[in-house]
A and B are shown apart, each in its own frame.
Chain A
Amino acid sequence: MANRSEFPLGAILLMAAGVLALLVIIGTSIWLANASALLTAEVTDARRTRTTASEVLETLLNAETSQRGYLLSDSPRYLRPYNEAVQTITRDLAALDLLERGNPVARPLIVQLGKVVEAKMAELRQTIALAQAGKRDEALAVVRTDQGINSMDAARGVLQQIIGNAEQTVNADMAQLGANTSLLRLVTVVGGVVVVLFGIAAMWIVFGAIRQSTEAREQVQELNLTLEDRVLRRTAALTRANDEIQRFAYIVSHDLRAPLVNIMGFTSELEVGTKSLNSFFQDGDEAARGPARDAALEIVPEAVKFIRSSTGKMDRLINAILKLSREGRRELAPEKVDLNGVFETLAASLQHQIAETQTTLKLSENLPTIVSDRLAVEQVFGNLLDNALKYLQPGRPGDILVASENARGAVIVTVKDNGRGIAQNDLERVFELFRRAGRQDRPGEGIGLAHVRAMVRRLGGDITVMSELGVGSQFRVILPRTLPSDTGNTA
């Protein structure tokens, strides 16, 4: 539950990507704005070039008109536009020169324009000067050379080229400006979308992390809440296990002591008998004949018989304890155990007893599959079926039913018989080691159910019994669906 990712790396990367996208948008915008400013300046210049060029043409025409008027009327009034034109044209040419200084295409045209205009102005100046000097005929002769009109045509041509160029520049730049605007809009929209997407993704990741940490916190709280409960349950289980161990130790010491007292007691009896024999055979005491006879025929053989049976009993008890102890230490191997299969195998192995007692063994069809230790499960239910067959009510055909029900995280398997039953007082006793209940007409050491309970508890479950004397018994085995990993050796 180590949750260092309050702010996960993914979110940081996404947010960084979003910031990057934002920077790209800003950079592109600045670049486009600069480009547009340059273009706008260019457009302005081109427009001024166009205007100025038109003005030059108009001025030239005015100057020519002024010359014609003067030559016709000889009135100086007509010279005013010409005089103005001289000034205007010089200023306009200078302006054009300045505007198109950096333009390699327009530059030669401007130079050419300067020459053509100079030629035209020279023709005008010459004719006007001649006319002012009274040599009108000479002036008209100059006009008739067509030098003036040619210069005018040349000037018009050059100016039209300049205007055309400026027109083109304006159109191209305007188109470029439009394209720039579209591009800017596109970049802004796409970038905006990207930023929003990155933002959403980053928020999603952050919210995910927050949700995870919230869940983790809730889990911790829940664990804290249930901790006490679990401690109580564990403590109860430990107390129960401890009580069982004490009970077990008591039973073992008592049951082992009983044959020991016999051995010691009959050893003393042997001594008594030996004394009788000694006093008769060694001392030749005739009065001891009777007791010696008793000793030889009764006391000694009886003592030997009891000593032998007692040692045999001790041996069996110790073996039983060893078996329980071995079973308690055996490593449990959890695997999938199909209870249907388990009971079918058991039924097959008990076929002989089933047939002999005319018993009907009914297995519920949908017994579950659990994860547990196969050997232990087989031994548990083998013992229960064995007992059910062993303690049937005499004269009544057996009827054994195996069924199952679901519990939370566990299954409950019931083995129900119509046997002789167990008295209410003995319901707990049947599970105790070396203890048996009811009429002692069947062989047994009182180990089976003690073993069963130890195994069931080791498998993380429990076993209970309900019974009615003379009617039948029902054993309920609760087993976890999956063998818990922390099952201790409480057996």
Chain B
Amino acid sequence: MSPNSVGLPVVIVMVEDDEGHATLIERNIRRAGVNNQIVPFRNGTDALDFLMGEDGTGRDHAGSSLLVLLDLNLPDMTGVDILTKIKGNTHLKRSPVVVLTTTDDQREIQRCYDLGANVYITKPVDYEGFANAIRQLGLFFSVMQVPTTE
């Protein structure tokens, strides 16, 4: 991903409770040639603390570019809660959110897009498919434009 207008590289925020999945996702994104910084979070509370910043408004990230990789099944809340908060936040609302989860329930997919999700990807059940999907996602990232947070 190309650096943003102020020259800062895009930061990938990965919210994934399963440490193994997180490792596999990171490794396959790297194999696709994406070298951006990845900030992993194991639960929704910590991820929201980071996204909303010290004052809870999200202003901390002004000027930087964030891409959020979001699992819906988190131990302490659902990814939908985080998605809602991001898309409802003045500063974060334009940051792309990629939902990456096991759920292929149509209503859940519709709900996520209604709430402003940019991409919804269902994790393939077999590992080959999983690795392939992540790598293609990485390739996609490399050509994607991410706006600067205001």
Contacts and interface: CB of A to CB of B under 8 A. Distances in A.
B123 A437 contact: no
A175 interface: no
B73 A302 contact: no
Contacts of B73: 254-255, 258
Contacts of B19: 306, 309
A440 B76 contact: yes
B81 A259 contact: no
A261 B130 contact: yes
Contacts of B128: 268
Contact of A264 (B23, B78, B127): B127
Interface string B32-53: 0000000000110100000000
A265 B129 CA distance: 10
A429 B44 CA distance: 14
B111 interface: no
A268 B75 contact: no
B108 to A, nearest CB: 11
A265 B24 contact: yes
Contacts of B7: none
The binding surface of chain A is classed by DSSP as helix
B72 to A, nearest CB: 10
B103 A306 contact: no
A257 B23 contact: no
A259 B18 CA distance: 8
Contact of A435 (B45, B75, B130): B75
Contact of A258 (B21, B42, B76): B21
A302 B78 contact: no
Contact of A265 (B20, B43, B77): B20
Interface string B45-71: 100000000000000000000000000
B76 A262 contact: no
Contacts of A237: none
A261 B127 contact: yes
Q: Size range of the interface on B?
A: 20 to 34
B131 interface: yes
Given A262-B24, A440-B45, A254 B77 contact: no
A440 B127 contact: no
A262 B45 contact: no
B102 interface: yes
A407 B99 CA distance: 46
A269 B123 CA distance: 18
B81 A302 contact: no
A262 B76 CA distance: 21
Contacts of B18: 258-259, 262
A287 B36 CA distance: 27
A328 interface: no
Nearest to A260: B125
A309 B18 CA distance: 11
Given A439-B76, A440-B45, A302 B23 contact: yes
17 contacts: A254-B73, A254-B103, A261-B125, A261-B127, A261-B130, A264-B130, A266-B20, A269-B27, A309-B19, A309-B20, A425-B81, A429-B77, A429-B78, A436-B76, A438-B45, A439-B45, A440-B45
Interface of B: 18-21, 23-24, 27, 42-43, 45, 73, 75-78, 81, 102-103, 123, 125-128, 130-131
Interface of A: 254-255, 257-259, 261-262, 264-269, 302, 306, 309-310, 423, 425-426, 429, 435-440, 446
Nearest first, the 4 closest Cβ-Cβ pairs linking A and B are: A262-B20, A264-B127, A306-B20, A265-B24
Given A258-B21, A426-B77, 4 more contacts: A261-B20, A261-B127, A268-B131, A425-B78
